[in-house]
Structures are given as C-alpha cells and as structure tokens.
Amino acid sequence: MPDLQTTNWLIGVIAVSSAIQSLFLIGAAIMGYRMYSQMAKTMADMEAEHIQPLRRQVDTILGDVQRITARVSDQTERVDNAITDTVDRVEETAERVKYRVRERVSRAAGIIRGVRAIIASILTTDGARDTRAEAGGRL
C-alpha cells in the first residue's frame, strides 16, 4: 500500500497555502475598502470645499444672466414698439403732406391753366381787329 504520509503532507501544504491566500485576499479586500472609504471622504471634502462654493457662484451668475436677459428682452420690445409707432407716424405724416401738396399743386395748376388760357386767347386773337372799336361798341 502506498505511503499516505506523503499525501497527507502535500494536502497539509495545500491547505496552508490556501489559508495564506485567503488571508491575503481578505487583507486586499480590507485595504480596498479602506482606500474606497478614504477616496469617498476626500471626494466629499473636495465637494464641500471647492465644488459647492463654485456652484453657488455659478447659480448667482446664472440668476444675474436671467435677469439681464429678461431686461434686455423688455427693452428690445419697448424699442421695437417705439420704432413701429414712429414709422407709423412718419407714414401718416407723409400721407398728409402728400394730400396737402397735391391739393395745392392742383390749385396752382388750375390757376396756371387759367392764365395760359387767357394768354392763349389774347395771343390767338386776330391782330387786325381793333380792340378799341369792340370795346367802344360794348359800352
């Protein structure tokens, strides 16, 4: 029968090496957990010290930007309304001026036509006729 002592001795070595490996794995897991805890604490401290103040500043800046944007939008609307009103008034005034000028030009054109008609009638009358005789006959 073969010697079981060698087999038992090899099984014992394997058991001891498995126990040592298990201890190393447990130690590695504990070190990993400690590193994770330390990193989480460092991240929380960094967030509290640096990120939160920056976030408050960014929120303040965004609030200011929103107020400025709203104000610019209101001012733009007011300017647009003012320009629209001004253009409407200019168009209305232009129409009034156009009407008045047309009215006065029509009167002036009528007077000029009348004067032309008078001049044309004077110039087209026969020069041989004696205007004194006609004038005397009317009296």
Question: For the ranges 31-35, 55-59, 74-78, 127-131, which has the lowest average pLDDT?
Answer: 127-131
* Average pLDDT across the chain, whole number: 86
Domain borders along the chain are 1-36
Residue 13: CA count within 13 A, CB half-sphere: 6
- d(CA 47, CA 5) in angstroms, rounded, equals 62
Percent of the chain scoring above 70 in pLDDT: 88
Percent of the chain scoring above 90 in pLDDT: 54
127-130 long-range CB contacts below 8 Å, 24 or more apart? none
Task: Say what the pTM is.
Answer: 0.43
End-to-end CA distance of the chain: 182
Q: In sequence order, which ranges of the chain are alpha helices (DSSP H)?
A: 4-46, 52-124, 131-138
| Tokens 């200011």, residue located | 64
Q: pLDDT digits over 27-52, tens only?
A: 999 999 999 999 999 999 988 888 88
Q: pLDDT digits over 112-133, tens only?
A: 999 988 888 888 875 545 554 4
